Structure 1
Amino acid sequence: MAWYSAGTVSVTNGSATVTGSGTAWVANAQASEGIWLPDGRLYEIVSINSDTSLTISPNYLGTTQSGQVYRIVPVKGYPLLAAQQMAALISTVQGYVDGALSGRFGNGTVGAPGISFASNTAMGLYRVAANQLGFVTNGVRRVLLSTTEMRVDLPVTGSAVTSDDLDTTSGKLLRTGSGGVATATTMPPPGDDMNNFATSGFMQFTSDDINTPFPLGAGVNLMRFGLLTGQVAVERTNSALPKLAFRGSWDGVTFSDWMTAITDQDVQATPADTTADKLMRVGAFGLGTDAVWDYLVIADDGFGEFTPPRAGGLVSIMSFPVKGSGFPTLSESGVFLMDAGATNGIITLHAGANLDTDVAGGGSATGTSGSDGNLTIFLPQNGNLQIENRSGSSRAIRIGWL
């Protein structure tokens, strides 16, 4: 039996009345039959009021519309259950149309993503919070995408990441260790040669490598414009003060010699430090400053005692009327080779007329032992140098010992 559908219908949301136009329902429809209306639902015809009016149940659930198609479903005599099941199925399909089939899904959870797969329900996508999308595998969120960040909670690999420590492909993500960064084992020089670096990065070198400043060490290679290069290296040593070296190149091929930075360990610890190979500082052994080997200020008929840095040496003695005056009194000044040790001795290279020496027997100065009007040098065999002043007034004596 064909489904009657002549004409059109007008329906109103919440109303039980259906109005027809061009319809002949008295002859072609009966109560208890079904009518398929514009909202896609099947309704029961309660009564036929006229050719253009009928009453339905329940009241119309869809939106108000006019001039719409319809179908009279001749269910009379069919099992009522079949009609009810059909209506339920239609409602279910409508739910999918309003949801997943229209691109809208439930929020889901990390354990049951809103979008997943039949064969792997623990993998998919879910809504973490407003404007936050979670990517899940094996029931664990691996990526969180929001309007402010993309948080990745697993290692990133593939062609978007540097393939090795020397990969310089533009646009790639640096992996740990690229260019010797963020790793305890930095990269060795390419080809075991410090001249072969073609990229900026950190490095380590050993005695097996060439063009290095030290047998063992680590450093950094910095490049600009692919040519201008600077290298800085630090010595690997048990010393608390390892050496630092640096060099450069204008073309990345020809390098300057390594230059080693001077540190405190390379310089005298004190002005009297005699350690071999140490650099002399200003004031060493009285050179270059008035502050070192300061003046002995000796009153008339008194003496002063000086402890030299070592037993023997080249000694200059300069006498000044007062400390800090511009020019020494030449008649009371001189230059000597001295041994102030147990076997004391002195060789006079030059001495002014009023500068005497008295080293025989290792006697000590008393203030009045030497000649009146003169200065006298004594070596008392205790490792020190004594100068006695009998010039008639106070003297400032400056001693340089090399």
Structure 2
Amino acid sequence: MSWIKTGTISVTNGSATVTGAGTSWVGTAQAGYGILMPNGLLYEIEGVVSDASITLAKVYEGTTQTGQAYAIVPTQGLTAVLVDAVNALMTNYQGVYDTIGQGKFPDGSLSAGGVRFTSDEDTGIRRTAANAASLMAGGADIIEWLSSSIKLHKTVTGDAVQSSATDTTAGVLLTLGAFGLGNLSGPPLWPNTSLNDCTGVGAGIYGVNGDHDLDGRLGAVGVVYFTPRINSLNQFVQTFYTTSGEIYNRASNGGTIDDPVWDWQSVLRSTTGGITTINGAVIQALTITIADDAVGEVEPKNKGGYIFLSSDNDNDYPGSVTPVVAWFDVGTSSACFQIFTAARGAVSTGAMTGTTGTDDYITVSAHSDGKLYIENRSGQSRKYTIHILG
């Protein structure tokens, strides 16, 4: 480093002050440097006061002089200052080295994450508990991971989620209401013009508004539950619920996924009024209360079949007192044949008036008008349980 010689100095015997003219000592000279004085001796600089004033470590012993040449000599003082600065830096850095320098971050909080951004301190990562941490944004936890599970605190959106209730993209997350599942406001409409066309349809529940080529046997409005059975035969199952209370089942018997072969042989139909149809067979179930010496009427869905009738003395249901089991025909040639009756049960044909049959009996009669008549002459009002198979 060059010696400093710019300008001149003035000194006074017995004084430690050196005054400069045309000098610039701040930033160039410093404590510990030496200064060659007019008396030819080297003095130690104790401190730099300004660009034009220096304080010596001891008083000047030469004669008073003005406008004299001088030379400031750099010494090991610069190295000492550098060492002090490095030591101070190491002391300050020790706290960083012991924590972040070893990958150890503070827990942080919702307002200031342990790992965060200078301009967005409430966005980053924080420790939420032992063995648990969270990705946070805007002062709220978004994704929290624990040793046993992962918690999502916000709704998942983006390319990894279904874009609609009928989005069939492979590998994406299903949303609430996907293919009609879990949607309280109603299922999506069947996406094709016919229920026979399964292209692009996922398993689920769909609304149907129109016949959709269902052999014309179904109501125009309803809900279909569709289940693909993935195997070599490309089989499918559909259950259709109409708004009129009917239920139909069918399954494809093969074909391809784009052109399945449907089989409507197995059909279940359930309607209101206690009537169920299975493959054309009708099951009716009902209860009626008939006063003493009075008649109840039942109109079977089919003209022929079997009737099972029972009652209790105290009107409770079901009961086993005075049961009647009979085969009937309510067509043009009415008939009623007893299969089983209790001691006070009977069968007949034709209309009943309430006092037609034997007193103290319960009589079941088939009439050509299409009705079954139950006459109660048991001596009290009774509730009757009736099952009809036809």
Q: TM-score, normalised by structure 1?
A: 0.50
Give the superposition deviation at 1:273: 4.3
Give the secondary structure class of the aligned counterpart of 2:101. Answer: helix
- What is the correspondence of 1:229-240 to structure 2 with a 5 Å cutoff? 229-237=236-244
Note the residue ranges of structure 2 that are not aligned, 5 or more in a row. Answer: 2-31, 33-73, 276-283, 289-295, 311-321, 368-390
Corresponding position: 1:223 with 2:228 = yes
- What is the correspondence of 1:323-334 to structure 2 with a 5 Å cutoff? none
Corresponding position: 1:207 with 2:210 = yes
Give the superposition deviation at 1:136: 0.8
Name the CA shift for 1:261/1:340 in 2 (closer, same or farther; >3 Å).
Answer: closer
In structure 1, the partner of 2:252 is 249
Q: Does structure 2 conserve the Cα–Cα contact (< 8 Å) formed by 1:313 and 1:339?
A: no
Equivalent of 1:259, from 250, 258, 267?
Answer: 267
In structure 2, the partner of 1:352 is none
| More displaced stretch, 134-143 vs 211-220 | 211-220
In structure 2, the partner of 1:48 is none
Q: Does structure 2 conserve the Cα–Cα contact (< 8 Å) formed by 1:207 and 1:216?
A: yes
In 1, distance between residues paired with 2:85 and 2:182? 66
In structure 2, the partner of 1:142 is 142
After superposition, the CA RMSD in angstroms is 4.4
Q: Does structure 2 conserve the Cα–Cα contact (< 8 Å) formed by 1:190 and 1:196?
A: no
Give the superposition deviation at 1:83: 6.0
Give the secondary structure class of the aligned counterpart of 1:91. Answer: helix
Q: Does structure 1 conserve the Cα–Cα contact (< 8 Å) formed by 2:134 and 2:145?
A: yes
Corresponding position: 1:384 with 2:332 = no
Q: Deviations over 1:311-359 (max 9, x none)?
A: x9957799xxx969xxxxxxxxx997x5666xxxxxxxxxxxxxxxxxx
Q: Aligned partner of 2:235: which letter?
A: L
In 1, distance between residues paired with 2:98 and 2:348? 112
Note the residue ranges of structure 1 that are not aligned, 5 or more in a row. Answer: 2-31, 33-73, 295-309, 325-333, 342-382, 389-395
Q: Aligned partner of 1:220: which letter?
A: Y
In 2, distance between residues paired with 1:399 and 1:273? 10
Give the superposition deviation at 1:153: 0.9
Give the secondary structure class of the aligned counterpart of 1:175. Answer: coil
Q: Which has the higher strand share?
A: 2
- What is the correspondence of 1:1-400 to structure 2 with a 5 Å cutoff? 77=77, 84-184=84-184, 185-197=186-198, 198-207=201-210, 209-211=212-214, 213-225=218-230, 227-237=234-244, 242-251=245-254, 253-257=260-264, 259-262=267-270, 265-266=274-275, 267=284, 269=286, 273-275=297-299, 277=301, 282-283=306-307, 291-292=323-324, 314=334, 384-385=355-356, 400=365
Q: Which has the higher helix share?
A: 1
Q: TM-score, normalised by structure 2?
A: 0.52
Give the superposition deviation at 1:76: 6.5
Q: Deviations over 1:224-259 (max 9, x none)?
A: 11621111122224xxxx222211112252222372
In 2, distance between residues paired with 1:111 and 1:135? 13
Q: Aligned partner of 1:157: which letter?
A: T
In 2, distance between residues paired with 1:142 and 1:199? 31
In 2, distance between residues paired with 1:274 and 1:281? 13
